[in-house]
Amino acid sequence: MSQQCSTAIARMGIDIGKSVFHVVGLDAKGKPVFRNRFTRERLLEFLARASPTIIGMEACPGSNWLARKAIDQGHQVRIVPAQFVKPFVKSNKTDIVDAEAIAEAISRPTMRFTQPKTEAQLDLQALHRVRQRLVSSKTAIVNQARAFLLEYGLTIGAGPAYFVRDMPSILADDGNGLTPAMRDLLQEQWQEHRSIEARLLQLRRQIEAIAGADDVATRLISVPGIAHLTATAITAFAGTGTQFKSGRHFAAWLGLVPGEFSTGGKQHLLGITKRGNPYLRKLLIHGARACVLHLDRTKDHLGLWISQMEAKGIHRNKVIVALANKLARIAWTILTRRGTFYLRQPQVQ
């Protein structure tokens, strides 16, 4: 690439691949002035030689790594969710067309961007994803074992607690009709379940240790319904929270606000959008459910609010989701305001 072409580039779009990267450069008027493809090593060399500019890429595996490398070379990075790039793709879809669409998308003043994650965030995020996979595997083992036992007239109550309580006695009972082959198979599933439980306990202790050493996570734990798991998930997936303009934007990113289909001046609200991070949304909703069931209604202003909602006859599930929305907004305030804690406000008699 010539030096003249390099200086003419106002912004670049990079379509990320496993080993091949397609780059399109636009000038200040939005006209393509550069198209090329690079290997991973050649792309890093190209970014090191290029004049500092604005670089756009889709949010996908590898985008955080490339963003860190580009920032180290003095470039500004804009990571765009893939669904916001799609409207800029013209005609047929190719890698070069995708890169050009990314470069056009980052030029829009109302475009929403994803904050690049640090290596510490990615490590903590990986812990949560491994834990999530293990929980799914444990649930699958319990459901499969219960189904096997039903074929022999043996039942276990729904829920992991009943499985842990009843499975040892079932395996030890030689007169319950289980064949030797099925008993051996169930024994293997029971050992696999115990192994997963031990690994989950190890991950929980690791996450709790990280939360205890993190000032932001410690302050998030002061919020009712947010414990070590949710606090570290918020810091891992949302970072500093500065990419959101307000707590409502953070709640909307989590899909905890109503969807809307309004036209002709008539507002029509739907159920929650369920956009964004489903794992973090699930944790906040579970935390809100625990608050509705166990929060002291006389010693916390959120408890008073829950009582007021229930007094209006609002369904408990709606109250739980609305409370999860409030918890998300409180969490955003703690993220963006250094030293802020949640203060319980006793009800004045």
- 199-250, pLDDT tens digit by residue? 999 999 999 999 999 999 999 999 999 999 999 999 999 999 998 999 999 9
pTM of the model: 0.86
| Percent of the chain residues past pLDDT 90, beyond the cut | 79
Average pLDDT estimate for 181-203: 97
- Structural domain includes residue 345: no
Which amino acid does the sequence have at 281?
Answer: R
Indicate if 12 and 94 belong to the same structural domain: yes
- Structural domain includes residue 343: no
In the predicted model, is pLDDT for residue 7 greater than 60? no
Indicate if 202 and 220 belong to the same structural domain: no
Indicate if 20 and 86 belong to the same structural domain: yes
Domain count, the chain: 3
In the predicted model, is pLDDT for residue 63 greater than 90? yes
Predicted confidence at residue 346, as pLDDT, reads 54
Predicted confidence at residue 345, as pLDDT, reads 65
Q: Confidence class of residue 2 from pLDDT cuts 50, 70 and 90?
A: very low
- Structural domain includes residue 100: yes
Q: In b/e form, how buried is each residue of 68-92, taking b as 16+ CB within 10 angstroms?
A: ebbeeeebebbbbbeebbeebbeee
Indicate if 42 and 93 belong to the same structural domain: yes
Predicted confidence at residue 264, as pLDDT, reads 86
Domain, as residue range, for 318: 216-336
Indicate if 167 and 148 belong to the same structural domain: yes
- 16-27, pLDDT tens digit by residue? 999 999 999 999
Indicate if 99 and 143 belong to the same structural domain: no
Where among 198, 213, 228 does a domain terminate? 213
- Structural domain includes residue 288: yes
Indicate if 220 and 332 belong to the same structural domain: yes
For helices 160-172 and 180-213, the axis angle rounded to 10 degrees is 140
- 108-142, pLDDT tens digit by residue? 999 999 999 999 999 999 999 999 999 999 999 99
| Percent of the chain residues past pLDDT 70, beyond the cut | 96
- Structural domain includes residue 250: yes
Indicate if 57 and 163 belong to the same structural domain: no
Indicate if 267 and 314 belong to the same structural domain: yes
- Structural domain includes residue 114: no
Counting every residue written for the chain, the total comes to 349
Q: Provide the mean pLDDT of the chain.
A: 92
- Structural domain includes residue 111: no
Q: How far is CA 198 from CA 82, 170, 201, 202, 205, in A?
A: 38, 22, 5, 6, 11
Where among 192, 213, 234 does a domain terminate? 213
Q: Confidence class of residue 254 from pLDDT cuts 50, 70 and 90?
A: very high
- Structural domain includes residue 347: no
Q: The domain that contains 32 carries what CATH number?
A: 3.30.420.140
Indicate if 133 and 97 belong to the same structural domain: no
- Taking the CA atoms of 39, 42, 46 and 47 in sequence, report the sign of the dihedral they define: positive
- 282-295, pLDDT tens digit by residue? 999 999 999 999 98
Instruction: Give the 3-state DSSP-derived string for the chain, with helices as H, strands as E and coil as C.
Output: CCHHHHHHCCEEEEECCCCEEEEEEECCCCCEEEEEEEEHHHHHHHHHHCCCCEEEEECCCCHHHHHHHHHHCCCEEEEECHHHHHHHCCCCCCHHHHHHHHHHHCCCCCCCCECCCCHHHHHHHHHHHHHHHHHHHHHHHHHHHHHHHHCCCCCCCCCHHHHHHHHHHHHHCCCCCCCHHHHHHHHHHHHHHHHHHHHHHHHHHHHHHHHHHCHHHHHHCCCCCCCHHHHHHHHHHHCCCCCCCCHHHHHHHCCCCEEECCECCECCEEEECCCCCHHHHHHHHHHHHHHHHHCCCCCCHHHHHHHHHHHCCCCHHHHHHHHHHHHHHHHHHHHHCCCCCCCCCCCCC
Indicate if 277 and 200 belong to the same structural domain: no
Beta-ladder partners of 22: 15, 37
**Exposed / middle / buried, residue 248 (Cβ in 10 Å: 0-12, 13-18, 19+):** middle
